[in-house]
Amino acid sequence: MKKQFRNIILISTLVFTLSGCRLIGAMIIMSAYNAKLKINDRYVQSSNGMTNGIQFEKLTVLKLDEDGLPAEYIVTQRFECYNPGVEGVQEYWPDKIYFDKANGHYKWGADTVAIHFLQVGNNREVIVDSIENNNDLNDTLAESLNDFFSAIIIDSYTDYETCPVEFESNTWYYLNFYDPALATVFLYVESEKKSHLYKFDSGVSPI
């Protein structure tokens, strides 16, 4: 509450002391703190833009917290729409990513994993011993690093034009918008036409 109160004072100070382009810039930064998200069976959208793409992680939930959100889970599948880059100047800057049609030069990739996470507030911790093919103390440094990066990076891409994975009903997903303004985003797919987004802001502006 004290932090929110300090933010209100800061915003008020900016409004009364800044003018012209400075005021416009300040208001843009403030709006970027609170990204508005939308998802349906056709696309996912963020008011902060989706230039960096998005990654989905399918979860096998082991425990829910007191609010009914995943507290401990295993990521079993990942799929991502990513920006492979272009030669020259990028001309396509999406604010939404479609599942069922091409998104300019953006591509999709997917892999299967088994990575155990504990959700700690708005952050999460990897239980390294649970990662597939982890030999614990017998691992070389290279093998240990490979285990670590397998928890955050998709192993290989097939470069699909559209999303290669269908969402499953009664299933939780963890979403990574690659946006510093967003700390944690969970998606619960209740049915094909009904889903629920749970968003937790980081308090960090992406600008």
Q: How confident is the model over 167-196, as pLDDT tens digits? A: 999 999 999 999 998 999 999 999 888 999
> How many angstroms separate the CA atoms of 75 and 49, rounded?
26
Do 17 and 49 lie in one domain? The reply is: no
pLDDT in tens, 12-71: 433 433 334 343 333 333 344 678 999 999 999 999 999 999 999 999 999 999 999 999
Do 118 and 138 lie in one domain? The reply is: yes
Which amino acid is residue 195, in one-letter code?
S
Do 179 and 129 lie in one domain? The reply is: yes
Contact 38, 84 (CB under 8 A): no
In the chain, how many H helices and how many E strands? 3, 10
Average pLDDT over residues 6-12: 38
User: Is residue 168 a part of any domain in this protein?
Assistant: yes
Average pLDDT over residues 1-7: 40
> How many angstroms separate the CA atoms of 130 and 169, rounded?
26
Do 170 and 136 lie in one domain? The reply is: yes
Q: For position 192, what pLDDT does the model report?
A: 80
Q: For position 201, what pLDDT does the model report?
A: 86
Do 107 and 14 lie in one domain? The reply is: no
With residue 175 as reference, give the H or E element that holds it: strand 171-176
**How many separate domains does the chain show?**
2
Q: For position 153, what pLDDT does the model report?
A: 56
Query: What 3-state class would DSSP assign to 63?
Result: strand
Mean pLDDT score across all residues of the chain: 77
Domain that holds residue 22: 1-33
Do 158 and 90 lie in one domain? The reply is: yes
Contact 73, 61 (CB under 8 A): yes
pLDDT in tens, 126-167: 886 554 444 444 555 455 555 555 555 555 556 899 999 999
Other CB atoms within 10 A of residue 104 CB: 12
Q: What percent of the chain has pLDDT over 70?
A: 67
Do 14 and 66 lie in one domain? The reply is: no
Contact 162, 99 (CB under 8 A): yes
Contact 38, 44 (CB under 8 A): yes
What DSSP assignment string belongs to 79-143?
A: EEEE----SS------SEEESSS-BTTBEEEEEEEEEEEEEETTEEEE-GGGSTT--GGG--HHH
Do 100 and 172 lie in one domain? The reply is: yes
Residue 47: partners with Cβ closer than 8 Å, 6 or more residues away: 31, 35, 36, 37, 95
Do 78 and 165 lie in one domain? The reply is: yes
Q: For position 155, what pLDDT does the model report?
A: 56
Q: For position 22, what pLDDT does the model report?
A: 41
pLDDT in tens, 95-105: 999 999 999 99
